[in-house]
Amino acid sequence: PSYASVAWLNAALPEGSRTLIVGLNETYWFNRRVLGGGNFDGERVSALLEAPTPEALRTRLTNDGIDHIAVFTAPPPTTDAKKQEERQTRLTPAAQRTLSQLLDRYAADVTSRGDVTLFALR
Q: pTM higher than 0.75, yes or no?
A: yes
Bridge partners for 20 per DSSP: 35, 69
Per-residue pLDDT of the chain (122 residues; tens, 9 = 90+): 678 889 999 999 999 999 999 998 888 889 999 999 877 678 899 999 999 999 999 999 999 999 999 999 876 666 777 776 776 788 999 999 999 999 999 999 999 998 899 999 99
Question: How far is 118 from 5, CA to CA, in rounded Å?
Answer: 11
Question: At what angle are helices 54-63 and 93-106 packed, to 10 degrees?
Answer: 80
One DSSP character per residue, 8-65 reads: HHHHHSPTT-EEEEES---GGG-SSEEEE--TT-HHHHHHHH--SSHHHHHHHHHHTT
